[in-house]
Amino acid sequence: GNSVTQMEGPVTLSEEAFLTINCTYTATGYPSLFWYVQYPGEGLQLLLKATKADDKGSNKGFEATYRKETTSFHLEKGSVQVSDSAVYFCALSDSTGNQFYFGTGTSLTVIP
């Protein structure tokens, strides 16, 4: 079946540190991959996505590359800010587009 496994949190970093949140997936066919973010007190929102192998999604300084050979979609940011404190969810849409799977979420706190 389809599933997403992401790095457990919580993660605490100092401002300007490098961030990696690992995400691996299991899927049949050709899924699309996503990172969604939930800021404190807000609803889930899309951060970035990639729809095919080797695609790189990017937004707000965050990047993730769809690696089919390692079934991974790790989230990275070179220099985090306090405003990046949030819960980050890796997710996939199956080949049909009719089902969607989230990871368990990784809580990030950035301290000044």
Partner 1 sequence: GAGVSQSPRYKVAKRGQDVALRCDPISGHVSLFWYQQALGQGPEFLTYFQNEAQLDKSGLPSDRFFAERPEGSVSTLKIQRTQQEDSAVYLCASSLGGTGRDTQYFGPGTRLTVL
Q: Where do contacts with partner 1 occur on this chain (CB under 8 A)?
A: 4, 32, 43-46, 49, 51, 89, 91, 93-94, 96-105
CB of 16 to partner 1, least distance (A): 28
Min CB(71)–partner 1 separation in Å: 18
Burial of 85 (0-12, 13-18, 19+ CB in 10 A): middle
Minimum gap (Å) between residue 46 Cβ and partner 1: 5
Only one residue has tokens 């899927």, namely: 27
- H-helix or E-strand spanning residue 63: strand 62-65
Q: Which is nearer to partner 1, 26 or 99 (CB)?
A: 99
Q: In whole angstroms, what is the distance from residue 104 CA to residue 89 CA?
A: 7
- Using the minimum distance from each CB to partner 1, give the nearer residue, 76 or 94: 94
> CB 42 → partner 1: shortest distance, Å?
8
C-beta closer to partner 1: residue 17 or 87: 87
Distances (CA, A) of 9 to 19, 20, 57, 100, 109: 13, 12, 22, 22, 10
